[in-house]
Amino acid sequence: MNRRAFLFASLAASAAAAPTRAASGLQVIYVDGWDCPYCITWQNQYKAAWLASPQFKQVTWAEVDPPKLREAYQERYWPGELKAVLEQIPRKSGTPRFLIVKAGRIVSNEFGLGKWELTMAHLKKLLG
């Protein structure tokens, strides 16, 4: 799948998930950049399975997806309700980043391709 088609598919999936709040009250936020090779690897290896997973259906999903990874923590790429989450991130660098938010507070903050499995383990515990 080319980058443009993948981007549109990602946006469609994000838009479909955004309007409804998950019963669990948990939100998962993925932070990347179009030029981040590790983010592209995550998207190619894990994203489809994530979108099809039972856990995805239990959370609210959001993506922060700027054109350049060095712009990932610029406020303009974090929509309204996500700005409060951005303020909580202690070190605003590095992608891909996987955040789990509960009741407006970050409860899991992992960065790096290898941390996806840890993020999923945290999420499964939180979902019980």
Give pTM, 2 decimals: 0.82
What is the per-residue pLDDT for 2?
A: 54
- What's the pLDDT score for residue 126? 96
Residue 68 belongs to domain with CATH number: 3.40.30.10
Task: Show the domain range for 110.
Answer: 3-16+24-127
Distance CA 31, CA 61 (A): 11
CA atoms of 44 and 52, how far apart (whole Å):
14
pLDDT in tens, 1-55: 555 444 444 544 444 434 345 667 999 999 999 999 999 999 999 999 999 999 9
DSSP code string of 50-94: HHHSTTGGGSEEEEE--SSGGGTT-GGGS-GGGHHHHHH-SS---
Task: Give the total number of structural domains in the chain.
Answer: 1
